Amino acid sequence: MNHIIYNSSGDILRAVNCPDSMASMQAKEGEFLLSVENYVDIDGNWVSSGLLKKKTELPFLPNLIEITANLEDTAIITDVPDGCVINWFDGLTEISDGSDIEFSVDLPGKYWLVISSTPYLMKEITIEAIPTT
């Protein structure tokens, strides 16, 4: 039988395939067990009230934003729900408070951020800073 292990937020931590009699041994403290009949895409699903749910796309977020690399032109990302984890290209991690995300830079190049939250699919956004002419 297939089982998934998840936390109190509904994040699926791992999937295991073992006999039902050994399933309870797979969950550690603070983790929960859900038995499922078929394979589960652990990146595309989450658990809510003990039920498996499909994650949805984050609304209204672009894949690519172009700005001029001059510290004046700014990429502005709106509509990021409260509580989303934002991982930046430089290793910085922050939690969205619902306000706009702003980014400007003076060095041309491609920069990225990844936004994730339990009920949503992970979203990577690339910000391409083009040289000034």
pLDDT tens for the chain, 133 residues long, are 799 999 999 999 999 998 988 988 999 999 999 999 888 899 999 999 999 999 999 877 888 999 999 999 999 998 898 999 999 999 999 999 989 999 999 999 999 999 999 999 999 999 999 998 7
Q: Residue by residue, what is the 3-state secondary structure of the chain?
A: CEEEEECCCCCEEEEEECCHHHHHHHCCCCCEEEEECCCCCCCCEEEECCEEEECECCCCCCCEEEEECCCCCCEEECCCCCCCEEEECCCCEEECCCCCEEECCCCCEEEEEEEEECCEEEEEEEEEEECCC
How many domains, the chain? 2
Same-domain status, 71 and 103: yes
Residue 59 covered by a domain: no
Range of the structural domain that residue 18 is part of: 2-54
Give pTM, 2 decimals.
0.80
Same-domain status, 84 and 34: no
Same-domain status, 32 and 83: no
